[in-house]
Structure 1
Amino acid sequence: MRRIPSGILNEPVARTKFTLTRHPPAPELRDFVEHHWVLRWNLTESHEQHVLPNLSVHVTFFPGACGVYGPAHELFTHRLSGRVHGIGARIRPGCFRPFLDAPVRTLADRAEDVTKIFGPAAAVAEKSVRNAETDEEMITAIDNLLIARARPIPHASRVAAEAVETIAADPGITKVAELAAALGLSIRAVQRLFAEHVGTTPKWAIRIYRLNEAARLLGAPDAPDYAELATRLGYSDQPHFIRDFRAVTGAPPAEYARSARRLMSCTPDGAKTGI
């Protein structure tokens, strides 16, 4: 089954703080965009939301966060407060290169002002999103912006997207050599492909799928055995898994699982969610 890491940490609490809905892009963008995501919140007290890194480039329109966010290696934290709505486009990993006049690795671990990449049309889209009353109005604004800038996807970008899809579809791929063999490419060719079109190394791409899967399983009501989970995710030993998990989430697996169960027990029944 194809995996799309959402990366939302402490999801039971998140469900009580905001609604998240996903929408398909316009037909012209389906090769580029996995989905649009709309967030709405109305909070009297601020809330810090943590999100695990993923491989996608995100084009977002929120107050104070109108930008193009590259693939990341660290936990993303955003403080939510007041009454806010906004939208983001989640670009398929490997498919943002046609929008960018540089390798995607130049966006890694940073954000660029959306107008620097999309020009004055981005300001028009930002105003449309800010004044929108419905999801459909926001979707139309971001669709129009991307369609106006879209170019044909080059063959190398399609191969890069296929490489990420291969990782997403096969949890058994835990090494770059295995990915290269599945693609019929050399390890060096895969590394170059990822640097140019995905923005990370293939080793990191494999790892982030594993760690998103680990966070999902550890956040379940019945957390798995940690040693078994490490083996299932392709780690040669449990300490290596613990180090990687802590480096990305800030907590070792046992602590993360305890915190998730504690938060679930405190979450009101029937909390609304659009996730």
Structure 2
Amino acid sequence: MPRTKPGVGKGVLHPGAGVGKFEVRRFHPDPDLAPFVEHLWTVRWDLGDAPPFVQRTLPDPAVHIVFERDRSEIVGVVRGRFERVLVGAGRVFSAKLHPGGLAWLGAEDASRLTNRRVAVDALFAGVDVAAREAAILGAASEEAMAVELQAFLRSVAPRASAEAARA
């Protein structure tokens, strides 16, 4: 089972403002993915009927593969502060890649994704995004979600087994 990684991340601005509004958990990747994946992370929120909550975040120079119901995407390096408006209830589950991690997955040059978001299936042709969302986000626990996301990464990485064996 994936091991929890402490902390919420350095880029979350005013983390105290989000207490009770959202929860963040991070996980170490499995050893074979560790050379390419810094960590897995999830954010869960349930605001009920409360007003939307705006969370501001500082960027970090990393590509993230984010799964969210009907909104899964690859998020390139963002060059400025960004924000996310949380409404109602929801969850994201993501992999933060190390520099070069996107190339390991056989995808395009990460610099072409700077300040951009693209659909998961735009980079990984043939992926049934709805099925992957259901498998990852519908798993019985956050640890099981981590297992599913890592299975996805292995499935789209053409050189995964060879590179992992050398790592």
Q: Aligning the two structures, in what range does the TM-score lie when normalised by the shorter sequence? A: 0.7 to 0.9
Query: Residue 133 of structure 2 aligns with which residue?
Result: 126
Q: In the aligned structure 2, how far is the partner of 1:51 from the partner of 1:64?
A: 22
1:7 aligned to 2:11?
Answer: yes
| AA partner of residue 76 (structure 2) | G
Deviations 1:95-117 (A, max 9, x none): 22222443211010001101122
Distance 1:139 1:101, change over 3 A: closer
Distance 1:140 1:122, change over 3 A: farther
Q: Which has the higher helix share?
A: 1
Query: Residue 5 of structure 2 aligns with which residue?
Result: none
Distance 1:101 1:40, change over 3 A: closer
Q: In the aligned structure 1, how far is the partner of 2:71 from the partner of 2:57?
A: 15
Q: In the aligned structure 2, how far is the partner of 1:11 from the partner of 1:114?
A: 29
Deviation at 1:64, TM superposition (A): 4.3
Query: Residue 27 of structure 2 aligns with which residue?
Result: 23
Query: Residue 119 of structure 2 aligns with which residue?
Result: 113
Query: Residue 135 of structure 1 aligns with which residue?
Result: 142
The correspondence for 1:84, drawn from 69, 83, 90, is 90
1:69 and 1:111 in contact (8 A); partners too: yes
Matches within 5 A, 1:42-121: 42-44=46-48, 45=50, 46-121=52-127
Instruction: Calculate the TM-score normalised by the size of structure 1.
Output: 0.51
| AA partner of residue 126 (structure 1) | E
| Percent of aligned pairs sharing the same letter | 27
Deviation at 1:82, TM superposition (A): 1.5
Q: In the aligned structure 1, how far is the partner of 2:142 from the partner of 2:125?
A: 23
Q: In the aligned structure 2, how far is the partner of 1:71 from the partner of 1:87?
A: 17
Instruction: Calculate the TM-score normalised by the size of structure 2.
Output: 0.81
Number of matched pairs: 151
1:97 and 1:104 in contact (8 A); partners too: yes
1:37 aligned to 2:44?
Answer: no
1:147 aligned to 2:151?
Answer: no
Q: In the aligned structure 2, how far is the partner of 1:13 from the partner of 1:92?
A: 29
| AA partner of residue 82 (structure 2) | F
Matches within 5 A, 1:188-199: none
| Secondary structure at 2:148 match in 1 | helix
| Secondary structure at 2:19 match in 1 | helix
Distance 1:34 1:101, change over 3 A: closer
Matches within 5 A, 1:207-218: none
2:76 and 2:114 in contact (8 A); partners too: yes
| AA partner of residue 56 (structure 1) | A
After the TM superposition, which segments of 4 or more aligned residues of structure 1 sit over 6 Å from their partners? none
Q: In the aligned structure 2, how far is the partner of 1:122 from the partner of 1:93?
A: 26
Of structures 1 and 2, the larger Rg is shown by: 1
Deviation at 1:137, TM superposition (A): 2.2
Deviation at 1:120, TM superposition (A): 3.4
